[in-house]
Amino acid sequence: MTAQTFSKPSVFTIPSGWSFVDSLAKGLMSEAGDEPSKLAAMTVLLPTRRAGRSLREAFLRLSQGRPLLLSRMMSLGDMDDGELPIGGWGEAGPGGDAALVVPPAVSGLRRQLLLARLIMARPNNDATPEQAMFLAVELARLLDQVHTERLEFSKLEQLVPDTFAEHWRVTLEFLTILTELWPGLIAAESALDPADRRNRLLEARARQWQEAPPAGPVIAAGSTGSIPATADLLVTIARMPEGRVVLPGLDRDASDDAWDNLGPLHSQYGIAQLIRHLGIDRAEVLDWPMASSEAAPPERTTLINAALAPAKTNEKPPVFKKMAAEAVSGVTRIDCPGPSEEAAIIALMMRRNLRLAGRTTALVTPDRGLARRVAAELRRWDIEIDDSAGLPLTQTPTGAFLRLCISAVASDMEPVTLLALLKHPLSAVGSRPEDCRRQARSLERLALRGPRPSPGMDGLRAALQDLDLAQRGELPDYLDHLETALKPLTNVFTEGSAALADIVRAHMVSAEAMAATNKNPGAENLWSHEAGEMAAGLMHELEQAACAFPEIKPRHYSGLFEATMAGRFVRPRYGTHPRLFIWGLLEARLQRADLTILGGLNEGSWPPEVTTSPWMSRPMMEAFGLSLPERRIGLTAHDFVQCLGAPQVALTRAERVAGTPTVPSRWLRL
């Protein structure tokens, strides 16, 4: 693999039966030989940052711990991967190029607030702030889709015939938020939409490398070019003198007839589109010269690709019986009665695999409920697993505590909500946490059982009036401290309307006062650890961005705060087991474990249910130029084929979920 000028694009593939990052690392190290500077001179572009970490670990394994000067690794940031920022790109200085400096991307929360403000400012608007925030998420998603496909909103008016004119007029009028108001607003922010900024960076990099290719090899690996700007950059790289594109899992066995009839639902559809965009034939794609040490039987890949072949082709299927035994060697299928049993079996397989020295195990699933169940099962043995998706902030103790502070004040100290707050592990109200919970139990026993007291703190005090001093004990002082802690938030909620920034500040002050102990200030207890740090960042960002939002009725703040927390996930930085993992489909694309468990293989989960756009029908999306929702099924089919290429694979599913029979994934019925 010596550097040379190729008359045609230099494109390679790593079969799905090989470990992608291990094979890639092995090939690059072989090319560098005994000259460390050669490896350091290479630039490797990968779909995600996690893929970069996996490649670094592969280099470490192959070097057996010897120090290496690693290649420069950068993230392409495919939108489908949920990583819009381009790692290491877009800033001048030692780590970037002045030619690639573009305005920053607007933060997700600020864009959500700005769009929600535009929604609420519409004539005859009846949406609450919470509804406006969730609707803003859908508008932002449409914005990103349009930028990704390089489309123009001016085409919207010509999409539908007159028979749909009235219905479409209503939608089109609403979308003037994006077509007429948003461009001026984002320009005033001196920022860009994240997808627009990513496109500009990729396009600028492609122009720069066309004019002056960089010194040293450039390898783009693992991307299927699902984003047009990414595909154009891959064309540029493939045509550079020392550029190479490495594709994941190209099917070489499919007939030309089958290849020409691939549809969006097929696992090879994205790769086929990219190969055509590169201007080459499938036969011109070269095999990557270095294989990983462990690989699945080649018969398995042949079998699964043949089973996925388009039905309308004239391709003669292979003789399955001859290869079936070899193909399914190392594959186990487990049908479980329900999700609980599925999680328990997966946890047992993981724990059993730990008994084998050095072996790794990964659960790959898009089902977040199953992932959380497996993590809970493993905690029974004091095993903390590395879950790449993390835990939703709303489900962490810090997130729950912040929500309870709002709910208790908004409900005028409704007993169930109040007790949930007072018994929360973070509640201390200036005393020891155990004393706080002891007083909460006394308050529950003496005042909150039976008829509900009158609203507010006065109602709680009135409920204690009929008790003698001995029975009341320290409860009056406890209520005084509680009232003082919640007073900033209570004062705001008594107003008819208030600025969002004022509500956020009162929320933080009250939450910190509730979390304060007799030894530590509340801020130290509340904003520590991963969840606390993320919550602190969210509160600070919300306070800073709140100036973009109009005054609201405080009673709407609870729903608005829930909307801002949605989509925030907390990922532990340490303390997880080094040989057990839970990966989403994105993280599993280029990684490999000794035992790979594909969980949640039911229709609606893997593959996902096809969702419709709230703005356009499928024919309208196709006419406008947007990718159809079915395209995602093709992406998950490719993920399934890649994961099935692991040497040892277990396939699991639940026969019933919530008492309802499930349909096995279509890939289990091939």
Angle at 169 between CA 168 and CA 170, to 5 degrees: 90
81 band by pLDDT with thresholds 50, 70 and 90: very low
How far, in Å, CA of 542 to CA of 522, rounded?
Answer: 20
Here the tokens at position 34 are 């005994």
State the pLDDT at residue 318.
56
| β-pair type (660-661, 656-657) | antiparallel
Q: Span 501-512, mean pLDDT? A: 97
| β-pair type (11-14, 286-287) | parallel
Q: Which residues contact 233 (CB under 8 A, 6 or more apart)?
A: 76, 202, 203, 205, 206, 220
* pLDDT over 80 (residue 614): yes
Q: 656: part of which helix (H) or strand (E)?
A: strand 656-657
> Cis omega (within 30 of 0) on the bond before 607?
yes
State the pLDDT at residue 90.
54
For 330-390+574-668, the fitting CATH number among 3.40.50.300, 3.40.190.10, 3.40.50.12780, 2.60.40.3470 is 3.40.50.300
State the pLDDT at residue 125.
82
Q: pLDDT for 310-333, tens place per residue?
A: 766 555 555 556 667 777 888 999
- Of 554, 573, 622, whose CA–CA distance to 128 is shortest? 554
Q: Concatenate the DSSP letters of all residues of 363-387 into one string.
A: EE-S-HHHHHHHHHHHHTTT---EE
State the pLDDT at residue 656.
95
CATH number of this structure's domain 11-102+197-295: 3.40.50.300
How far, in Å, CA of 512 to CA of 521, rounded?
Answer: 8
At position 532, the amino acid (one-letter code) is G
* pLDDT over 70 (residue 464): yes
* DSSP code for 192: B
Q: Confirm if 412 and 456 have CB atoms less than 8 A apart.
A: yes
Q: How far is CA 460 from CA 185, 225, 495, in A?
A: 48, 62, 22
At position 508, the amino acid (one-letter code) is M
Q: At what angle do helices 557-565 and 529-545 cross, to 10 degrees?
A: 120
State the pLDDT at residue 395.
92
Same fold, 11-102+197-295 and 330-390+574-668: yes
- Of 37, 32, 22, whose CA–CA distance to 1 is shortest? 32
How far, in Å, CA of 452 to CA of 458, rounded?
Answer: 13
State the pLDDT at residue 12.
96
State the pLDDT at residue 136.
94
At position 411, the amino acid (one-letter code) is S
Q: Concatenate the DSSP letters of all residues of 195-257 into one string.
A: HHHHHHHHHHHHHHHHHSPPSS-EEEES----SHHHHHHHHHHHHSTTEEEEEE---SSS-HH
Q: Which stretch of 39-43, 116-120, 288-292 has the lowest confidence by average pLDDT?
A: 288-292
Q: pLDDT for 512-567, tens place per residue?
A: 999 999 999 999 999 999 999 999 999 999 999 998 899 999 999 999 999 999 88
Which position has the higher pLDDT, 256 or 278? Answer: 278
Q: pLDDT for 84-106, tens place per residue?
A: 444 555 544 334 455 567 899 99
Q: What is the 3-state secondary structure (H, E, C) of 565-624?
A: HCCCEECCCCCCCCCEEEECHHHHCCCCCCEEEECCCECECCCECCCCCCCCCHHHHHHH
Q: What is the 3-state secondary structure (H, E, C) of 48-97?
A: CHHHHHHHHHHHHHHHCCCCCCCCEEEECCCHHHCCCCCCCCCCCCCCCC
E strand residue ranges, 87-178 = none
Burial of 434 (0-12, 13-18, 19+ CB in 10 A): exposed
64 band by pLDDT with thresholds 50, 70 and 90: confident
168 band by pLDDT with thresholds 50, 70 and 90: confident
First to last CA, the chain: 38
E strand residue ranges, 277-394 = 286-287, 331-336, 361-364, 386-387, 391-392
Neighbours of 476 (CB within 10 A): 12
* pLDDT over 70 (residue 82): no
At position 460, the amino acid (one-letter code) is L
* pLDDT over 50 (residue 407): yes
Q: Domain map of the chain by residue range?
A: 11-102+197-295, 108-191, 330-390+574-668, 394-570
Residue 286's DSSP bridge partners are 12
Contacts for 567-570: CB closer than 8 Å, 24+ residues apart: 567/108, 567/137, 568/392, 568/393, 568/394, 568/534, 568/538, 569/389, 569/390, 569/391, 569/392, 569/393, 570/390, 570/391, 570/392, 570/393, 570/396, 570/530, 570/531, 570/534
Q: pLDDT for 411-441, tens place per residue?
A: 999 999 999 999 999 999 999 999 999 999 9
How far, in Å, CA of 464 to CA of 449, rounded?
Answer: 12
Write down the H helix ranges in 449-569: 456-464, 469-472, 475-493, 500-515, 522-526, 529-545, 557-565
Here the tokens at position 588 are 């599993």
State the pLDDT at residue 56.
92
State the pLDDT at residue 165.
63
Q: pLDDT for 330-347, tens place per residue?
A: 899 999 999 999 999 999
Here the tokens at position 650 are 């277990």
The percent of residues above 70 in pLDDT, for the chain, comes to 91
What's CA 447's distance to the chain center, in Å?
A: 45
Q: Confirm if 186 and 192 have CB atoms less than 8 A apart.
A: yes
Q: What is the mean pLDDT of the chain?
A: 88
Here the tokens at position 601 are 């293989």
Q: At what angle do helices 433-443 and 415-422 cross, to 10 degrees?
A: 160
Q: Rounded to 10 degrees, what is the CA torsion of 606, 612, 617, 619? A: -10
How far, in Å, CA of 368 to CA of 605, rounded?
Answer: 10
* DSSP code for 3: -
pTM above 0.85, yes or no: yes
- Of 403, 334, 392, 344, whose CA–CA distance to 368 is shortest? 392
